[in-house]
Amino acid sequence: MNQPKRIQLPQITISTRMPRPIVLQQSQCDFLKGLWVESTGYFPNAQGHITERAAEQADFYLLIYCLNGQGWFQSEEQMWMVKPGDL
C-alpha cells in the first residue's frame, strides 16, 4: 500500500482593499472622523517581508499588531523592535 504524501499547505495570507465608496462613507461617520480604513490584512508568516515608502508617499498611518515572532520597523532615523502584543 502506498503511503499518503505529506503536502505543505501555504500559510494563510489575507489582504483586502476597501472599495472607494466605503472609504468615502467613513469620512462622514463621527466615530471614525479622521480615521479612514483603506485596507486590511492578515499575514501570519511575514519573515523577510520588507515594505519601503518614501516620506512624500507616506501621507497615511500604517497600524500593525504583532501576534507572534519579532521584528523591527524604522521611521526616519529611529528603529523600534516589535514583539508579540505590540501595536
Amino acid at position 57, single letter: Q
Q: What does the pLDDT look like over 17-59, one tens digit per residue?
A: 888 888 888 888 888 777 778 888 887 777 777 777 776 666 7
Per-residue pLDDT at 9 = 47
Share of the chain above pLDDT 90, in %: 2
What 3-state DSSP class applies to 42?
strand
pLDDT of 5 strictly over 70: no
Determine the average pLDDT of the residues in 58-77. Answer: 80
Would you say 32 and 43 are in contact if contact means Cβ atoms under 8 Å apart? no
- Higher pLDDT pick, 16 / 6: 16
pTM for the model: 0.54
Q: Give me the residue spans of the domains in the chain.
A: 14-45+53-82
